[in-house]
Structure 1
């Protein structure tokens, strides 16, 4: 391995362009984020080949991700759908490699390259916020254009607006990064302009976002406060809390009553959360059938009985719930369901290593922002999206990348 890291002569420009596009892509075309990262990674590979250098791959988080991907690959031997398991394992491996390469890019950027990248991201964030405001005023005109929907039709307009749910979540996750950028600005006029843009974006996110997004913003603030504690308390609270969740969540949701009882007992709760409880209870029962090895990577959509619907409620309030729609809408349960106890331990280890890294950050503002992003990611992962969705993992990789690009900057 070469002793010196390859300079980022090409990556400096691709990074700036990518970070300008990221907020807009995240809002309207989330799946394009993984392509954006892949292009940046390929440029970095070309630089490394040119200078005969390799990224520093012997890092605990990366090794744990590779171990998890290897276990996911092995699960194809007993998975319900071996092809889906191999595809999921390949996607996870790819995300790990992308993380390694973009972090290597961040470390190689000089001060001018970092400054250019941050300006580009800030401009892209402002553009994405403006586009979201436009959609809120126009009833989803831009969202309809990106998705080829005719918003004059009520049903297609609703589909266009729903297509923004993932993007609004990503915009919320990017907000702490913008706060860190604003924190490092010297000129009061720029700082106030940045705060105004951040306030506008948060207002749109909270107004538009689902309950999970609102809870994620609250979790971001609580997690950031925890990191202000002295000594090893942040590590103990966050790490201990994560371990407790991984071990106890499948047991806790096993005691949830049947679907009709759930609807009657928690009638005042949002219907989506009531449905989640039923999904989690069903998932917990399937976990008990294969607790050690799981059903195989990406097997959630193929679980026996998962495509069956039940009716709850009465009269005009009657609802139809699916036992397991695509995935459990909870990362911890998905770890257990698909990869068993071994996979849950490995995936939990990846998160624990992340907690340890953020608690060790010497720069307090960067530590607070990293914790805020972590808090948001936890809530969203426990309530909304699938654990292995590439666009979601790409969004988290981008946050880590941005935090590392900002690392050496004292003032912008």
Structure 2
């Protein structure tokens, strides 16, 4: 299959595949980035992978990888797997950079073809997600029963939560295409995908949808000043994350039952992570240390309405990306993360509102749910960035 058609097929299929196999986003992103680079064969040479203004983000990525690798010398996790995580993140970043460089060389016909595939793919995935929610996840149950035998999973919603996030993030570049090319399709697409994400019922995704809308509104109303405010807010949020302790309910206060179950567990996790961070605030505990922190496997017991709930203090990661960076990579890691988010926010160009929405949605999900070093999650960010770059108006046409 020619690389051009492979790229189109991948951009169309990935949102729907993610609903049934969220971890597949990582290999699908790798294939999409490679197909873009093969499509634009001159982009296979390193000088052609660059784009205007690439030096700063590449420098930040290199500095982050270097500090994370250095932290493997003192991590409380196994050093070899921790170093492999660093190398995996670096490999995804290099693929993302290569894909962005190749995407800038696409002509308008290729961009239009990819844009149609993206809009159709997001619409299909949103429709499938709505059907799954309405049918109590009939297709997922059938698929899992076929793969493993029996009646399928007890909690099928947990299996497609990654897919809902993929739909949420790819919605924004798809809306940018629809608003530019098929204006009548933009509102139905937004309503369809919004209904699917809300119907899926995960609080993190619903809050991310609200955060995305707020970021888009800020940039739409305030323009360049809005982008600066968004950048300042993201930088301040990352740097102030260790100060959230007094704002959280105490474990005793959790017994009043004011929060739902998963929120109570988040509070327990964040209190524990903040306590451990305070022991090594400057250098952190080291890459992937969240998996092996002393006391992380212990449980906190919270009694609500006579029922005792057992909450592991740190299951794998803090469920907050900024806090995870502070905990594992300390002050240097937090400064680099803040700089990266601020840079992305200030560089939102054409279609800034949709870009701000994707950024806002990703940050909200990242502060509530997934581990920062998960390959599928990082691939989701890069896939969204490539979708924007490959379907936007040809920048060479603007320069002409």
- Same fold, TM-score > 0.5, yes or no: yes
Deviations 1:170-218 (A, max 9, x none): 21222222221221125xxxx4455334322211210113111111111
Matches of 1:88 and 1:31, distance apart in 2: 16
1:324 is paired with a residue whose SS is coil
Task: Say if 1:110 and 1:257 are closer, same or farther in 2 by CA, change over 3 A.
Answer: closer
Alpha-carbon distance in structure 2 between the residues aligned to 1:18 and 1:370: 21
Q: 2:168 touches 2:209 (CA, 8 Å); kept in 1? A: yes
- 2:382 aligns with 397
1:255-274 CA-partner distances (Å, limit 9, x unpaired): 64542x13135x22222112
Q: Provide closer, same or farther for how the CA distance between residues 50 and 384 of structure 1 changes in structure 2, counting only shifts above 3 A.
A: closer
Which residue of structure 1 lines up, in the alignment, with residue 283 of structure 2?
293
**2:158 maps to what in 1?**
162
Deviation at 1:162, TM superposition (A): 1.9
Matched, 1:142 2:139: yes
Pick closer, same or farther for the CA change 1:304–1:52 going to 2, 3 Å.
closer
Q: Which residue of 1 aligns with 2:114?
A: 117
Deviation at 1:314, TM superposition (A): 4.5
Q: Does 1:56 align with 2:13?
A: no
* TM-fit CA distance, 1:49: 7.7
Q: State the match for 1:4 in structure 2.
A: none
CA distance in 2, matches of 1:150, 1:137: 23
Is 1:221 matched up with 2:213? yes
Residue matched to 1:274: 264
- CA separation of 1:243 and 1:132: change in aligned 2, threshold 3 A: closer
Assess, with a 3 A threshold, how the Cα gap between structure 1 residues 305 and 193 changes in structure 2: closer, same or farther: same
Q: Residue by residue, what CA displacement relative to the aligned partner does 1:231-281 show, whole Å, maximum 9, x if unpaired? A: 65224422221222222221222664542x13135x222221122112111
- Compute the displacement of 1:221 (Å): 1.3
Q: Distance in 2 between matches of 1:41 and 1:373?
A: 19
d(CA) in 1 for partners of 2:44, 2:275: 53
Match of 1:356 in 2: 346
Name the counterpart of 2:179: 183
Residue from 344, 367, 390 that aligns with 2:352: 367
Structure 1 CA distance for aligned equivalents of residues 247 and 364 of structure 2: 21
1:406 Cα deviation from its structure 2 partner: 2.6
2:371 is aligned to 386
Trace 1:249-328 onto structure 2 (pairs within 5 A): 249-253=241-245, 256=248, 258-259=250-251, 261-265=252-256, 267-314=257-304, 316-328=306-318
CA-to-partner distance for each residue in 1:311-356, whole Å, 9 max, x for gaps?
1115643211110011000011100111111111112211111111
Give the Å deviation of 1:148: 4.2
In structure 2, do the counterparts of structure 1 residues 252 and 24 end up closer, same or farther at CA, with 3 Å as the change threshold? same
SS at 1:289's partner residue?
A: coil
**1:5: which partner in 2?**
none
Secondary structure of the residue aligned to 2:335 is helix
| Contact 2:144–2:153 under 8 Å retained in 1 | no
Please, which moves more after superposition, 138-147 or 340-349? 138-147
Unaligned runs of 5+ in 1: 1-8
Task: Mark the runs of 5 or more structure 2 residues left unpaired by the alignment.
Answer: 396-400
Shift of 1:379: 0.8
Contact 1:311 1:320 in 2 (8 A): yes
Aligned partners of 1:144 and 1:150 also within 8 Å: no
Deviations 1:124-158 (A, max 9, x none): 2233223223322432222234444689967x443
Q: Which residue of 2 aligns with 1:13?
A: 5
What is the Cα deviation at residue 17 of structure 1? 1.7
Q: Tell me whether 1:33 sits opposite 2:25 in the alignment.
A: yes
Query: Could you say if the C-alpha distance between residues 29 and 203 of structure 1 is closer, same or farther in structure 2, counting changes exceeding 3 Å?
Result: same
Distance 1:172 1:341, change over 3 A: same
Asked if structure 2 preserves the Cα contact closer than 8 Å seen for 1:72 and 1:297, the reply is yes
Question: Quick one: distance in 2 between partners of 1:317 and 1:217?
Answer: 33
